[in-house]
Structure formats: structure tokens, C-alpha cells
């Protein structure tokens, strides 16, 4: 297993669009958790837990995320690892699509 730069697979630098945690999960969790002011640490934990439960329970979210990952990888391959512009939706649109379909 390779960890570091110059590995066997050339990975595009600064590529958050290729990481589902960056293009979907963190933005979705933030929008759910901080939808209103938080009073204490326990409430923060509960909101994070609740937001994660929603992702697990809603049918189709993981399938749509996997489809989006494939689209992103294909675009990256087509551009030979180069810059991919205006191919993907804004963060808010992505979250709405991935949650609601």
C-alpha cells in the first residue's frame, strides 16, 4: 500500500471533486447540523448523529453518490487528469440531487 507522492497511480492535485466526502458528505452534514444555533456539545453530537442516520435511511442516496463518483472519474480520465470545468453542479445542487434524487 502506497502512502505519499509519486505513487503508482497519478492522482490529480487538489481534486475534491473526486472525493465523495468533499463533494457531498461534509457539505450535507454542515447544512443539516448548523441549520440553527447549537446550544451545547451534546446537541452538536445529536445533530451529527441524526444527519448521518438520514443518509443511511434514505433510499437511493448511496447509489446516486456512487453514480456521481463514476461520472467524475470518467470526466477526469477523459481530460487525462487535467482541469474539468463546469461539468458538475454547485455544492447545494449536488446535495439536493443526492438527497432527493
pLDDT tens digits for range 2-41: 555 666 656 555 556 666 666 677 888 888 899 999 999 9
Higher pLDDT among residues 80 and 89, named by residue: 80
**Is the model's pLDDT at 86 over the cut of 70?**
no
Which letter, b or e, does each residue of 35-55 get, where b requires 16 or more Cβ atoms within 10 Å of its Cβ? eeeeeeeeeeeebeeebeeeb
Q: Domain limits of the chain? A: 16-100
- What's the pLDDT score for residue 101? 47
Against a cut of 0.85, is the pTM above it?
Answer: no
Amino acid at each position: 500500500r502506497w502512502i505519499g507522492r509519486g505513487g503508482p497511480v497519478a492522482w490529480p492535485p487538489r481534486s475534491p471533486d473526486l472525493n465523495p466526502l468533499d463533494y457531498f458528505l461534509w457539505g450535507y452534514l454542515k447544512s443539516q447540523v448548523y441549520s440553527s444555533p447549537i446550544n451545547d456539545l451534546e446537541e452538536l453530537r445529536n445533530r451529527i448523529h441524526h444527519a448521518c442516520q438520514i443518509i443511511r435511511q434514505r433510499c437511493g442516496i448511496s447509489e446516486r453518490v456512487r453514480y456521481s463518483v463514476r461520472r467524475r472519474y470518467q470526466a477526469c480520465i477523459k481530460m487525462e487528469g487535467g482541469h474539468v470545468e463546469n461539468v458538475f453542479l454547485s455544492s447545494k445542487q449536488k446535495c439536493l440531487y443526492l438527497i432527493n434524487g
